[in-house]
Amino acid sequence: MIPRLLLGALLLVVAWWTRRHGRALLTAVVQALRGPTTAVPLESDELAALRDMAVRCETLQDALRLRGEMGELPAPDDDLLAGRIDEVIRQLGRGTVIRSGITDVLAGFDEGRVELEVMEARGRLRGAADGAARGQAAEDLRGLGDRQALLDRLHVRRSELERASRQAIVELTRVHQTLRVAGDRKEVVTGEALAALHEAMGRARGALWVGHAVDVEVRDLLRGRTEIDT
C-alpha cells in the first residue's frame, strides 16, 4: 500500500521545486530545443539549498566540489560556460529531489510481502470453488498487480535518474580536467577546445533531461492512484 503521507510528501516536494525554479526549468527546455544561447547562473538561495541537499547525496557533493574548483581556475574565453555548468548542477539537484521522493515512497512498502500476497491471490484464484470466490480473487490479484507494477516502475525511474546523474558527473569532470590542464599551462581555453567543453555540458544536460520525463511520469504514476492505498 502507498502510505498517504509519503505520497503527499513526494508530490509536494516536486511541486515546490517546479514552482520555485520554474523560470530556470523553462530556460532549460528552450535550450534543449534551440541550443545554447543563454545560461542562468545559480542564485545564492539555490546554491544554499543545493548544499543542504548535498549533505545526503554524494553525487551532488561531487558536482558542487567540481563547480567550486572550476571557479578557482582561469576562466575560458567565454561567458556562457559557467552558466551552463550551473544549469547542469541545477538539474542534478532537481533529480536528487525526485530520486529522494521515490526512495521515501518505496521505503513505505514491504516488497517481499507484496510478492507473497500476489502468490497467495493466484493460489486463491486457482482454488476458487465458485464464481463469487473467483471474482474476488481476480479483483484482489488485479489490485496487487497494479501495486507491484507501480513499484517496478518507480525502481526503474530511480535507476534512470541515478545513471543520468553519474553521466553528468563524468562530463563535469571532463570539463574540470580540461580547465585545470589549461590553467597549469597558463593557457586560455578557446576554439575547438572550448567547443568540446560546451559539447560535454550538452551531453550532461541531455542525460539529465531524463529527469524531466521522470518527474512527469512519477507524478502521473502516483496522481490518482491512491485507490491502491486501500
Q: Which residue ranges make up each domain of the chain?
A: 4-109+149-229
Task: Indicate the Cα dihedral angle 143, 145, 151, 154, nearest 10°.
Answer: -100
Rounded CA gap, 30 and 8, in Å? 30
Q: What is the pLDDT of residues 176-209, one digit of tens each?
A: 999 999 999 999 999 999 999 999 999 999 888 7
Rounded CA gap, 117 and 115, in Å? 5
How many CB atoms within 10 Å of residue 148?
Answer: 16
C-alpha distances in Å from residue 70, one per residue of 51, 123, 132: 17, 60, 68
To the nearest 10 degrees (0 to 180), the angle between helices 81-107 and 191-208 is 20
Angle at 184 between CA 180 and CA 185, to 5 degrees: 120
For residue 92, give every residue at least 6 positions away whose Cβ sits within 8 Å of its Cβ, in sequence order, or none: 59, 60, 63, 165, 168, 208
What is the biggest distance separating any 2 CA atoms in the chain, rounded to whole angstroms? Answer: 84
Q: What is the pLDDT of residues 140-159, one digit of tens each?
A: 888 888 888 888 888 988 99
Task: Indicate the Cα dihedral angle 69, 176, 198, 62, nearest 10°.
Answer: -70
Residue 104 confidence (pLDDT): 85
pTM score of the predicted model: 0.73
Given a cut of 60, whether residue 138 has pLDDT beyond it is yes
Q: What is the pLDDT of residues 49-103, one digit of tens each?
A: 999 999 999 999 999 999 999 999 988 888 899 999 999 999 999 989 888 888 8
Give the residue from 170, 201, 217 showing the smallest Cα distance to 91.
201
The percentage of the chain sitting over the pLDDT mark of 70, rounded to a whole number, equals 74
Mean pLDDT of the chain: 80
